[in-house]
A = this chain, B = another copy of it.
């Protein structure tokens, strides 16, 4: 043990900083015990006599010791890292969910002892990026966010035996056995529609996504359920378009002319912004003349005039549930539920009536 560095303290207290951080052996030497005992002090404190534990702990504090990740990872065959693929930035949309989710996830993961490694799959192949990480054992598991539309990620990851938790239901595969967490979009739009019904609206239109979007159809079902519940018809009141401001503008413009709704429920804030644009062009005032509700409670909804009522996903709760599923997957098999569906709420602003 003739390491020439590290024994002189690693914290900022002493005058100089040594080249390399202290190791288990340094701590052991200082505490007068063996390496293994120090290791136990860190990982299985109850194996030590109280007195010894104190002595080791003091040595740890004095040296500012923290286990070297690489060494620990090598031995335990785990990195305590979870991979999260960032979906491409959509310019010109109001998408804000990802941002909030990432923050919540990072925060929650840290509590559980995990760090988040982000990577991107911008290129053509959505699987690009996963491969390297799996094969080089860089992450312990993945968080997968886009499970809709027959997304191949889930299948691919299962084949590779790569553990993962999904934010999003396995729409296409009821046999799926992986853990997932999702938000009940239908409940959200139902909430929104009821809110408008309670305010006296009876002609409430829907602007959503293309029919092959499972999420879009789910959200749409909440709107139609709420209307039918009150014996109101939905025919001619729905439009399904791309998720852009201009699509929302055109769709709302058509609906206003044809179906004469007094309120709009939209599958996204982006589409709702399109509705607001139509209203502005026609000199109509959102909230007073026509009510509008969006989905996701994005920054746009928060700052736009006069404030956009929007369905807000409980992303903090999602993150907590995802991390819990992760711990279950990687640690002891407590085996909680396979899937968990959370309920969103509604942030009410002036666009649905002041």
Binding site for B on A (CB under 8 A): 10, 12, 17, 20-21, 64-71, 73-74, 77, 79, 81, 86, 88-89, 91-96, 99-100, 102-103, 106-107, 110, 115-120, 122, 129, 132-133, 135-138, 159-161, 245, 270, 273, 276-277, 280-281, 298-300, 302-306
Contact = CB atoms under 8 A, between A and B. Distances in A.
A119 B115 contact: yes
A100 B89 CA distance: 7
16 contacts: A12-B159, A17-B160, A17-B161, A21-B135, A70-B73, A73-B74, A89-B99, A89-B103, A102-B118, A103-B120, A110-B129, A116-B117, A270-B303, A277-B305, A280-B306, A300-B304
A277 to B, nearest CB: 5
A106 B118 contact: yes
Contacts of A137: 21, 68-70
Contacts of A99: 89, 99
- Across the A-B interface, give the 3 residue pairs with the lowest CB-CB distance, nearest first: A70-B73, A70-B74, A66-B135
A86 B110 CA distance: 13
B89 A304 contact: no
A302 B300 CA distance: 10
B120 A106 contact: yes
A304 B273 contact: yes
B305 A276 contact: yes
Contact of A79 (B17, B69, B161): B69
Given A74-B74, A118-B118, A277-B306, 5 more contacts: A91-B299, A96-B299, A106-B119, A116-B119, A300-B303
Contact of A120 (B96, B107, B119, B120): B107
Contact of A304 (B10, B107, B161, B304): B304
A109 B6 CA distance: 31
A12 B134 CA distance: 12
A283 to B, nearest CB: 10
A299 B81 CA distance: 31
Contacts of A132: 66
B299 A94 contact: yes
A118 B116 CA distance: 6
A238 B299 CA distance: 26
Q: Which of A70, A132, A277 has the most CB of B within 10 A?
A: A70
Nearest to A136: B66
Nearest to A87: B103
Contacts of A70: 70-71, 73-74, 77, 79, 137
Contacts of A89: 99-100, 103
